[in-house]
Amino acid sequence: MKKDSNKKTSFKKQRLKYEEYFFRGVMLLSSCLIAFILGLIIYSILVKGVPSLSWEMITQTPKGGFYFGKEGGILNAIIGSIYLAFGATFIAFIIGLPISLYMNVWLSHKEKWVNMLRFILDLLWGIPSIVYGAFGFTIMILLGIKASLLAGIIVTALLILPIMIRAIDEGLKTVPKGLKESSYSLGSTKSELAFKIMLRQCIPGIVTAVLLSFGRAIGDAAAVLFTTGFTDNIPTALNQPTATLPLAIFFQLSSPIPEVKERAYAAAVILTSIILIISVLSRVLTQKYNKHTIKF
Amino acid sequence: MNWNRIRDNISPTRLQINKFNEVWMLVWTLFLVVVPLFIVSGLLWKSSLLLENHTLKEIIFSSEWKPMSGKFGFLPFIMSSLWVTLLSLLIAAPICLFSAIHLTQYANRYVLRFMQPVIDILAGIPSVIYGVWGIIAVVPFVAEKIAPMFGVQTTGYNILSASIVLAVMVIPFILNILIDIINTIPKELTEASLSLGAGKWYTIKHVILRKALPGIISAMGLGLSRSFGETIAVLMVVGNVAAIPSGIFQPGYPLPALIANNYGEMMSIPQYDSALMFSALLLMIIVLFFNIGSRFLIMSYEKRFK
């Protein structure tokens, strides 16, 4: 009798063991699959894009017959995207930093309010960028503004604002309580704590937040689709329409002419490398600035 | 007790600066609360023209889309969106779940150090790049490999290709949330199970997965809402034919693609303009619904472990 039940449990154990082996295999496989997909994406973009990548592409604006496969480059889109991303990141930073400081200093004892604000931020982050774009376009028509760099900057800034605030907030959350208390006990006011202590302590978090938002701003196409327009010239003022890299890729790819399509792949290589550079930069800078924070 | 004395020692200017900073920062924080209300009311106001002339039932359940003759049936677009997002979740969910358990329970330091940047980069790649990848790799793969297996002729620009691209796009998003969720489960819980003699796999199956279930469901809900609003990448591979799709090898026309393709050109017809704003509103309501539901589930989930 006893032997029998022993046999039963050992059988069950055996089954569990094989089940574990099987699922461990499946798990490892899915992790590998994710890494493999990233490799595949980068590989296929590079294979398609690098052959048509040339120095001309990144140093010239489109010339006369550019959209029929003649000479020229996409410098207008590169510069336009960089302007747009810098402007949007700057505005989002100016608005976002005080809000996240306010949440973590003034509201630090009102947990309910902070949680509500985080909830709203998460909701704002979830709103699709096309909704921001369409809404921004309606407002522009209402006010009689034409598609321009400034409009694109404002819409993109609104789009990346929640990411910026949440990322800085994550950094500020980790500031040790002891540091806050010791600065209070030395007689600092709340705004001194916020701008002189918290800000400095949180520099790695802020750098990550800024780079994250910059990457988001430079890559988003749906929000700028209606708001920034498209042009072959490099913008010289805020009220001019501007070309952006994602839209340049999108428009050129829908062309039936193979040479133009080739260029879209090359532009995709440029955009991908910008994103990869930002990613590496953010890792390096975070590690560098982490050395200067106070640790308990 | 001696607080007043301390306060007396702080110079009035510093207190004034403090007060000044507090006020303007509060105003900026309130700005944050106003933005979503502003967007919703603006979209409602713009789509009111369409809602005045048609009933809501007519708009959502009719499949006749003829803007020129004033017929706006959103059913094809809603159905396409549902097909694409549900199929993409079906592809992404098991991969994310297995990988999340692997990364939190089995993976060692070196694997984690390798996978973290991989997930971050995948999350950072712009949607246009995913679209380009879809055209280069996924569309031919579906047209030449997968479709012939089912005996179907297709160009590759269909629901399945869009779902595969979308699935890859939401994988890093869902995976990050899942890893957070599994990590919030207290160690005591798993250790108690291990100390009672349960094996590792048994603990994962009966303690971790069971405890994390609400969190897993909400992670999927957030992933669903994210893929619902994705525009450019889907637009590039989905085919854009305004008909109710009858299978995964049929082209579709999701809501965001509808807005992106038509907005701006049709400003001369007020009703058309209004209909497109209504689709933006619809998109936003669906996304907010999934978001709010999932966030509440996550919040109540995290509260239980505190």
Residue A241: pLDDT band (50, 70, 90) is confident
- Tell me the chain A residues in contact with residue B226 when contact means C-beta distances shorter than 8 Å: 126
Can you list the residues of chain B whose pLDDT is less than 70? 1-8, 264-268, 306
Domain coordinates of chain B in residue numbers? 3-53, 65-304
Measured CA to CA, the distance from residue A47 to residue A272 in angstroms comes to 13
pLDDT of residue B1: 46
User: Is residue A89 scored above 90 in pLDDT?
Assistant: yes
User: How far is it, in rounded angstroms, from Cα B200 to Cα A17?
Assistant: 10
Question: For residue B269, which phi and psi values (nearest 5 degrees)?
Answer: -100, 105
Q: Give me Rg for the CA atoms of chain B.
A: 25
Q: CB–CB of B305/B184 below 8 Å?
A: yes
Residues A158-200 pLDDT 10s: 999 999 999 999 889 888 888 888 988 888 888 888 888 888 8
The residue in chain A having the minimum alpha-carbon distance to the alpha carbon of residue B91 is: A30
By CA distance, what is B164's nearest residue in A?
Answer: A37
Q: How close does chain B come to A106, measured CA to CA in Å?
A: 8
Beta bridge partners of B65: B72
Long-range contacts (CB closer than 8 Å, 24 or more residues apart) made by A70-76: A74/A243, A74/A245, A74/A248, A74/A263, A74/A267, A74/A270, A75/A234, A76/A231, A76/A232, A76/A233, A76/A234, A76/A243
Burial of B58 (0-12, 13-18, 19+ CB in 10 A): middle
Provide the pLDDT for residue B306: 65
Q: Which long-range contacts (CB under 8 A, 24 or more apart) does A249-253 make?
A: A249/B128, A249/B129, A249/B132, A250/A221, A250/B128, A250/B131, A250/B232, A250/B236, A252/A67, A253/B131, A253/B132, A253/B135, A253/B236
Cα(A207)–Cα(A205) distance, rounded to whole angstroms?
5
Q: Which of A40, A128, A131 sits opposite B137 (nearest CB)?
A: A40
| ∠ Cα A228 A77 A268 (to 5°) | 115
Closest Cα of chain B to A116: distance in Å? 10
Contact A135 B43 (CB under 8 A): yes
**Nearest chain A residue to B13, by CA:** A189
Angle at A108 between CA A104 and CA A113, to 5 degrees: 95
> pLDDT-derived band of residue A83, with 50, 70 and 90 as boundaries?
very high
Using a CB-CB cut-off of 8 Å, the residues of chain B touching A34 are 95, 99, 115, 118-119, 122, 171-172, 175
* Average pLDDT for chain A: 86
Distance, CA of A223 to CA of A88 (rounded, Å): 12
| pLDDT value of position A69 | 65
Nearest to B20 by CA among A283, A183, A223, A190: A190
Phi-psi category of residue A229: left, alpha or beta, with phi > 0 → left and psi -120 to 50 → alpha: left
The residue ranking higher by pLDDT, B50 or A157, is A157
Residue-wise pLDDT for A2-58, tens only, equals 556 666 677 777 888 888 899 999 999 999 999 999 999 999 999 988 888 888 777
Task: List the one residue out of A112, A104, A86 whose CA is nearest residue A167.
Answer: A104
Cα separation, B122 vs A155, whole angstroms:
24
The distance of A237 to chain B (nearest Cα, Å) reads 23
Which of A19, A126, A161 lies closest to B226 in CB terms? A126
Both tokens of residue B37? 């209300």
Q: What is the number of other CB atoms lying within 10 angstroms of the CB of residue B34?
A: 9
Chain A residues close to B122, C-beta within 8 Å: 34, 37-38
- Complex ipTM value: 0.89
Over residues B120-133, the pLDDT tens digits come to 999 999 999 999 99
pLDDT at B49: 82
Residue of B nearest to A136 (CA): B39
What is the C-alpha to C-alpha distance for residues A273 and A265, in angstroms, rounded to an integer? Answer: 12
Mark yes or no for CB contact B280/A135 under 8 Å: yes
User: pLDDT of B170-191, one tens digit each?
Assistant: 999 999 999 999 998 888 888 9
* Segment 112-171 of chain B within 8 Å of chain A by CB: 114-115, 117-122, 124-133, 135-137, 168, 171
- pLDDT at residue A67 greater than cutoff 70: no
Instruction: Give the mean model confidence (pLDDT) for residues A244-271.
Output: 88
CA distance B150 to B146: 7
Of B102, B103, B232, the CB nearest to A221: B232
Distances (CA, A) of A247 to A77, B102, B241: 8, 38, 22
Tokens of A67: 């959209």
Residues B245 and B251: their CA atoms lie apart, in Å, by 7
CATH of segment(s) B65-304 = 1.10.3720.10
| Rounded distance between C-alpha atoms, residue A254 and residue A250, angstroms | 7
Rounded Cα–Cα distance for residues B207 and B221 (Å): 22
- Check pLDDT > 70 for residue A296: no
DSSP state letter for A221: -
CA distance B292 to B40: 15
Query: What pLDDT is stored for residue A1 in this prediction?
Result: 47
Chain A CB contacts of B29 under 8 Å are 98-99, 102-103, 117
